[in-house]
Amino acid sequence: MKFSDRSKRRISRPHLDRSFQTGYGSADHRNWKHPPMPWKKNFDVDVARDRAKALFWSKGYEATSMEDLLGCMDINRGSFYATFGSKQALYLDVLQRYDQHYRCGVLDQLKAEFTPREAILTLFEAVRKEAAGAKGTRGCFLANATMELAASDKSVAKIVGVAFSQTEAFFKAMIEHGQADGTIRASADPDVVARSLLGLLLGMRVLARGGSPAPVLESIVQQVKELL
Amino acid sequence: MKFSDRSKRRISRPHLDRSFQTGYGSADHRNWKHPPMPWKKNFDVDVARDRAKALFWSKGYEATSMEDLLGCMDINRGSFYATFGSKQALYLDVLQRYDQHYRCGVLDQLKAEFTPREAILTLFEAVRKEAAGAKGTRGCFLANATMELAASDKSVAKIVGVAFSQTEAFFKAMIEHGQADGTIRASADPDVVARSLLGLLLGMRVLARGGSPAPVLESIVQQVKELL
DNA sequence: CCAGATTTGGAACGAGTGTTCCAAACATTC
DNA sequence: GAATGTTTGGAACACTCGTTCCAAATCTGG
């Protein structure tokens, strides 16, 4: 029964006939992984996406190939396209999640757990420390995306534009609150200093990606203290 | 004579026979440009390289294809490889020339023509103006190269590493000279402020590439004045 | 006036790109 | 218990990538 079905189908789909040319078309010899479980994906979507995020983050969009992606996510093409749509869609998805979970999350946490002055300094300290660590040269996903794609892709430009202006707003709010409670110098213009902090933050990210020596970033953190 | 030569050669190089399939293989119908002048290139190497520079600068390395390159340089593959070696070699060449002629040139000019304080402020003003212009989102070639390639390519990392540390040294020297003649505040730590200026400069370049609104960059320039 | 040198145009190459397609598998639903 | 719905693995596809190759052209030096 099955054999006859196959031979009938093969006639109507001639391009499949080439499989015999590959030399190992037999199902008996392929590596066995899991029995197919059609009612349930046999990988964790969130884990796979996080792995893709790590790869896009450190290599960028263009330099990451589908093969890289499938290898590190440990899924196959069919599952990839069924779950994530396309390489581009996954990238935008991952960028947006980074923005929402990482950037927004961090800023909210800083706002909630620290005094205004400490919140700003803690953020800069965290960036300095991250740059000094093992994954130092991957920088900031949003900054990387800006440099690679903002000029040519409107969706990316929109995401990073919003991210930057919200970060600026965070700095401005922290400065105004710090001035109210006397921990930040009253002579600071909240707009000017907030924008400068944004500039310094992004500058640190470029320097980190370029592998600048640690004292450079330390001096910038030092300067931030003096700005407040 | 020629015909017989051709037919003899065609037998020994069967892959060339496909040309007839393209539909317009005849020499009589191709667009005429210049008579071949084997004793002299019929394009200006410097012009072609400058055009390549503009393309790499705005699109980055990976996103620039050979077709893009040949189109904008207005030369063909043979001339390209004979003159520039490869896409990668051309990119490194162009990056190095940008570094030498643009960055070194600008810094030397600023040193020569301005007082220390003015030199720094003029540089930041120039970056702000450039970002506001038509080509604003192309940013800085060195910063772009850093973000795209420094983590994966040692040659690029070396070039940008030197460029950044020399820019830092420029700022430090200007600050020390400015302190000597009283135009820059004596309380500024030359190392700290120089590194912060480098950070702000690169930050401006990221913001520019992300299409940030002009007031953001203006505020940063304002902050630089107050730092000095 | 012929051999050598050198540029040009563009076909071809082989590897690699992102994506599509589909049969096999089998729990669930009708 | 047949039809449905969904996942999986991977061959195949249609390009595009950067690069190589080479004949045609015709200058210069012999």
DSSP per-residue string spanning B90-156: HHHHHHHHIIIIIIIHHHHHHHHHS-HHHHHHHHHHHHHHHHHSTTGGG--HHHHHIIIIITT-HHH
Residue A40's pLDDT is: 74
Residue A134: pLDDT band (50, 70, 90) is confident
pLDDT at position A39, please?
Answer: 66
Residue B175 CA to C27 C1' — how many Å?
74
pLDDT tens for each residue of A150-204 = 999 999 999 999 999 999 999 999 999 999 999 999 999 999 999 999 999 999 9
Strand C contact nucleotides, protein CB < 7 Å: 5-13, 16-28
- Cα–Cα distance between B79 and B6 in angstroms, integer? 24
Q: Is A226 near strand C, with its CB below 7 A from some atom of it?
A: no
pLDDT at A137: 82
> According to the model, what pLDDT value does residue B31 have?
42
Is the separation of the CB atoms in A198 and A168 below 8 Å? yes
Q: Does B160 touch chain A (CB under 8 A)?
A: yes
Report the C-alpha dihedral over residues B163, B167, B170, B175, rounded to 10 degrees: -160
- Cβ contact A207:A217 at 8 Å: yes
H or E, element range at B203: helix B190-209
Which residue intervals of chain A are DSSP H helices? Answer: 2-12, 45-59, 66-73, 77-84, 87-97, 105-113, 116-132, 141-145, 154-180, 190-209, 214-227
Q: Answer whether any strand D atom is within 7 A of the Cβ of A158.
A: no
pLDDT greater than 90 at residue A8: no
- Give residue B185's pLDDT: 96
Chain A residues close to B169, C-beta within 8 Å: none
In chain A, residues with a C-beta closer than 8 Å to the C-beta of B227 are: 223
User: What was the pLDDT predicted at B5?
Assistant: 24
Task: Say what the pLDDT of residue A139 is.
Answer: 87
- Residue-wise pLDDT tens digits, A135-153: 878 889 999 999 999 999 9
Contacts of B139 (CB under 8 A, 6+ apart): A147, B131, B205, B206, B208, B209
A68: left (phi over 0), alpha (psi -120 to 50) or beta: alpha
Q: Which of B62, B147, B199 sits opposite A147 (nearest CB)?
A: B147
Estimate in Å the CA A169 to C1' C29 gap, whole number: 54
Please report the number of interchain residue pairs, chain A to chain B, with beta-carbon separation below 8 angstroms: 146
Query: How far is Cα A65 from Cα A42, in angstroms, rounded to an integer?
Result: 23
Q: Enumerate residues 6+ apart whose C-beta is below 8 A from B140.
A: B127, B202, B205
Residues 6+ away with beta carbon under 8 Å from B91:
B56, B61
Rounded CA–C1' distance between B71 and D25, in angstroms: 23
Q: What is the pLDDT along chain B (228 residues), one digit of tens a residue?
A: 221 222 222 222 333 333 322 223 333 333 444 555 666 777 899 999 999 999 999 999 999 999 999 999 999 999 999 999 999 999 999 999 999 999 999 999 999 999 999 999 999 999 999 999 988 889 899 999 999 999 999 999 999 999 999 999 999 999 999 999 999 999 999 999 999 999 999 999 999 999 999 999 999 999 999 999
Q: Which of B114, B78, B145 is nearest to A147 (CA)?
A: B145
- Of A17-21, A39-43, A80-84, give the lowest mean pLDDT range: A17-21
B46 touches chain A (CB under 8 A): no
Q: Element (H or E) spanning B193, and its range?
A: helix B190-209
Q: How far is CA B60 from CA A19, A124, A151, in A?
A: 40, 29, 11
